[in-house]
Amino acid sequence: MDRKPIMDIKIEANGPAIHLQGENGEVLMVPFKGSIKSDLFNGIVEPCGVDTQVVNAAHVRHMSARYMLTGKDSTGQDAHIYVENNGWFDDLTKTMPFHTVPTFYTDSKALAPYLHCNRFVGEGVDEADGLHIYFYEIGGQTDA
């Protein structure tokens, strides 16, 4: 698969997780914040991000992270990017990196045509300095 890297988001914990354990699975809600550095956008992950993880009886962990990026777009303008990032993995094997499918919404006039095209995948990678979420464009190349 042809992939072009577009973003590196460093995730940091932002308070205690909330955990529910039931007879048919579990739910974990993890609050987070962070930072982003890329050619497209530089800024922060607002401290209101949450990763909701639901583990079903078959030990499949479904993850859905929702968060807002605040910073400067590639033209230097103030902008926001809302990210909804969904993925899953088998809890018994816990393969890394884990893979996701992000959806972006932005108020940046420069980035909107590019980010709204829905041609992206993500990977979560546990590195020495913490968790990084990398986003890649897949398929044809489009200039941002």
Over range 70-90, report the average pLDDT.
95
What are the tokens at 25?
Answer: 């699975």
pLDDT at 44: 98
Range of the domain at 63: 3-138
- Residues 6 or more apart in contact with residue 37 via CB below 8 angstroms: 8
pLDDT at 96: 77
What pTM was computed for the model? 0.91
Over range 4-12, report the average pLDDT.
97
Q: What is the CATH number of the domain that holds 17?
A: 2.40.160.20
- Whether residue 132 is contained in a domain is answered as yes
- Whether residue 144 is contained in a domain is answered as no
pLDDT at 97: 87
- Whether residue 38 is contained in a domain is answered as yes
Is the pLDDT score of 62 beyond 60? yes
CA dist., res. 51 & res. 64, Å (int) = 6
pLDDT at 139: 79
Is the pLDDT score of 144 beyond 70? no
